[in-house]
Amino acid sequence: MPELYGPAKKLTVPAALPSVEGMVARNLRTFLALSLVLAGCARGGAQDPKRSGNRLELAKDFLSRGDLEQAEAEAQKALSYDESNVEAHNVLGLVDYLRAMKNHRLLEIDDCLTGVDAEALRSELDDFLASADRHFKKAVEIKPDYGEAWANRGSVALLMEDYQPGTKDLERALSYPHALINIGLTRANLGWAYFHQRRHAQAAKELRQAEQFNPGMCVAKYRLGRVYFARKEWQKALEQFQAVSNNKDCPMQEAHLYLLKTYRELGMRDAALAAQPQCVQMAPRSCIAAQCRTVL
């Protein structure tokens, strides 16, 4: 590093004042030289994988604790040391995805919002999802076989109800299983994408496989129940929804709602009336609770 301050020098009066053109030229040369030095420093900082990795670990820790602001700050620092750190891009995508999920919860569960309040939250939710997708896209551009980022892009697409692009992302994710944290969840999401395209046979296949990877997986059981319900296989649907609703580790109000709907289809009105209060009480102010109250 060059010294910032050298030994004091004796000031002398120049023989002649320099021309304006000469001053401009010297100033320009000084500016260019300084720019090159700063650019060199920036490049040096961006190529420090060790520091980038340390910041990434901090970002992951904050993310696991739900501190999204600190997770975002540390992931950004990780990228400042290494722009090709795909996991840092993935963390930033997850931060925005979780922010979107918070808005989704406010809209659908904590308060079933409508009108101006709902519009503002939905607009913000869409912005978060778009930002999340950009980060996941950047990660797979850098590392095309990064399955986890493909899976996360698929999750974003599902929340945006873009089921066809989501299907492609999730299929791509499963082509790189070594880079997936939870293969079962990825298959459950792919099954859900198929379901929303009325590809019921493929949906059922993926959801059954998801259960094989994660026995007792609440999401996979509920979604498989939805497949059976759509195919009017009422008894099979009933088994799935009952399994989820009776599991204290599966607090899914949607499963309780579809349990009521299945009781109705089977003509089991007494069972439906007995189960209705629990469906409502899980989240009384949610949009689903409103359906639970009126389903019968």
Residue 115: per-residue pLDDT: 85
Per-residue model confidence (pLDDT) at position 257: 98
In tens, the pLDDT along 41-91 reads 444 444 799 999 999 999 999 999 999 999 999 999 999 999 999 999 999
Q: How confident is the model at residue 24 (pLDDT cuts 50, 70, 90)?
A: very low
Per-residue pLDDT band at 30 (split at 50, 70, 90) = very low
What's the confidence (pLDDT) of residue 25?
Answer: 41
Residues 151-169, mean pLDDT to the nearest whole number: 97
**pLDDT of 222 above 60:** yes
Look at residue 2 in the predicted model and tell me its pLDDT: 40
Return the domain boundaries, the chain. Answer: 40-181
**Percentage of residues in the chain having pLDDT higher than 90:** 79
Distance separating the N- and C-terminal Cα atoms of the chain: 77
| Per-residue pLDDT tens digits for 269-279 | 999 999 999 99
Whether 35 shows a pLDDT value over 50: the answer reads: no
Give the C-alpha separation, 212 to 177, whole Å. Answer: 15
Mean pLDDT of the chain: 87
pLDDT interval class at 113 (50, 70, 90): confident
Residue predicted with more confidence, 231 or 113: 231
Angstrom distances, CA of residue 261 to CA of 109, 191, 257, 276, 284: 20, 22, 6, 10, 18
pLDDT at 53: 97
pLDDT score of 58: 98
3-state secondary structure 47-89: CCHHHHHHHHHHHHHHHHCCCHHHHHHHHHHHHHHCCCCHHHH
DSSP the chain: ---SS---------SSPPPHHHHHHHHHHHHHHHHHHHHHHHHHHHT-HHHHHHHHHHHHHHHHTT-HHHHHHHHHHHHHH-TT-HHHHHHHHHHHHHHHHHHHHIIIII----HHHHHHHHHHHHHHHHHHHHHHHHHHHH-TT-HHHHHHHHHHHHHTT-HHHHHHHHHHHHT-GGG-S-HHHHHHHHHHHHHTTT-HHHHHHHHHHHHHHSTT-HHHHHHHHHHHHHTT-HHHHHHHHHHHHT-TT---HHHHHHHHHHHHHTT-HHHHHHHHHHHHHTSTTSHHHHHHHH--
CATH class, range 40-181: mainly alpha
Which tokens sit at 176?
A: 């790189």
**Res 247: pLDDT:** 95
Check residues 188 and 23 and name the one with the higher pLDDT.
Answer: 188
Q: Output the pLDDT for position 114.
A: 85
Lowest mean pLDDT among 39-43, 49-53, 171-175, 236-240: 39-43
